[in-house]
Amino acid sequence: DAGVIQSPRHEVTEMGQEVTLRCKPISGHNSLFWYRQTMMRGLELLIYFNNNVPIDDSGMPEDRFSAKMPNASFSTLKIQPSEPRDSAVYFCASSLQGSAYEQYFGPGTRLTVT
Amino acid sequence: DAKTTQPNSMESNEEEPVHLPCNHSTISGTDYIHWYRQLPSQGPEYVIHGLTSNVNNRMASLAIAEDRKSSTLILHRATLRDAAVYYCIPSNNAGNMLTFGGGTRLMVKP
């Protein structure tokens, strides 16, 4: 298995531009998570999906952030418009549903907004 | 979510055992205790989890206190590749949401 796949690995954009991050979870996993990591705030859960349905988006910072999961093998996290304070590493993770199952993380997307 | 307390950093010598402590005194009765680690420039990686009994796998052992208010991750022989931030995470009863705290930065000296 290729593991969780994220693209792009690095993204540099200017303030005000739209950014779309992509994630392909591990086949067969039915939970998907988006996290953000910064030096100041550490690793934060933004949103998670079960069976393609958003369950908890309380971690999404504001309306500029949106996430979708149109099918079991693909999810996107969009920031529109982007701001410098959105600069961070964004991780996607997937797992089988249930608290006893481990999450598998992707390599992350390093976003820099100038 | 249960709050956790971990030392900010620890040092170990290569080939020696390492005991990483975690206090989670507010853990609920049905929360699992998960441990993840994050190597430099990588995403977090699952290490081990348990509920009440001590657990062993190829990476580590997890010792859980009888009252479940604390646990200890044990690396039996630390290697340089074990240098990472280790997170202790009681799971959320609502599902399998993980709330990462600050973790313990483990440094391994050759």
**DSSP line for B38-96:** E-TTS--EEEEEESSS-EE-SS-EEEE-TTSSEEEEEESS--GGG-EEEEEEEPPTTSS
**Partner residue facing B96 (CB), from A97, A105, A107:** A97
**pLDDT value, residue B81:** 95
Mean confidence (pLDDT) of chain B: 92
Selection from B30, B29, B22, B18 nearest residue B3 by Cα: B22
Residues of chain B with C-beta less than 8 angstroms from the C-beta of A106: 43
For residue B102, the model assigns a pLDDT of 92
pLDDT over 70 for what percent of chain B?
Answer: 95
| A30 and A51 Cβ atoms separated by less than 8 Å | yes
Contact B43 A55 (CB under 8 A): no
* pLDDT band at B97; cut points 50, 70, 90: confident
Residues of A in contact with B43 (CB under 8 A): 4, 91, 93, 105-108
- A10 part of contact set with chain B, CB < 8 Å: no
B7 pLDDT band (50/70/90 cuts)? very high
pLDDT of residue B98: 83
